[in-house]
Amino acid sequence: MNPSPHPAEARRDPARIPPRWFIRTAWVVHRALYRVTGGRVGLRHPSPTVYGMMRLHTVGRRTGEPRVAILGYFEDGADLVTLAMNGWGDPPPAWWLNLQARPAASVDLPDGTREVLAHEATGPERERLWAVWRTLEGDADLDAYAALRSHETPVVVLAPAL
């Protein structure tokens, strides 16, 4: 018998995500904490084992209004990498739909703001970046959670705008 190559594949019980109300409440609290502390709490740099937190500024694809989301990320050279998941719910997150319509955006990081251009990683690039997410603390069940969705979770690369 071959040992399972990944902890998620060794699970006997299916991955379970918290109820939608819990996920939405956590997002609201995180954004409120950032706002109340004037940005002193809520963002962090990634480490080799833990993803960082950034604020992504997009433009609404239908309204043209500014939109903001706080997302996990890691650094891949000069690029920032995140996952277009909606609390592991099936619909794509609004920020990803906005980026698909207008790839130019900006991000707030703990040490400042950066202008970026978004693209979806595909092929070997996606496989390599997805493998990095598997190594991050708290994402041992990444494949099991992704399997709950009816489509592949996009890996989004935010490259520095020139």
Question: What angle is formed at CA 108 by the lines to CA 107 and CA 114, rounded to 5 degrees?
Answer: 55
As a residue count, the chain comes to 162
**pLDDT at residue 9, as a whole number:** 38
Q: Whole-angstrom Cα distance, residue 81 to residue 24?
A: 22
Of the candidates 4, 7, 3, 2, which has an alpha carbon nearest to the alpha carbon of residue 134?
7
**pLDDT at residue 22, as a whole number:** 60
The whole-model pTM stands at 0.79
**pLDDT at residue 121, as a whole number:** 98
Type of residue numbered 2? N
**pLDDT at residue 12, as a whole number:** 40
Q: Dump the DSSP string for 134-159.
A: HHSTT-TTHHHHHTTSSSPPPEEEEE
* Ordered mean pLDDT values, 10 residues apiece, the chain (162 residues): 38 57 64 69 86 94 93 96 85 94 96 96 97 82 83 95 86
The CATH number, out of the four listed (2.40.50.1020, 3.55.40.20, 3.30.450.40, 2.30.110.10), of the domain defined by the range 42-160:
2.30.110.10
Question: Within 13 Å and on the Cβ side, how many CA atoms surround 31?
Answer: 12
C-alpha distances in Å from residue 1, one per residue of 5, 13, 129: 12, 20, 29
Question: Within 13 Å and on the Cβ side, how many CA atoms surround 34?
Answer: 19
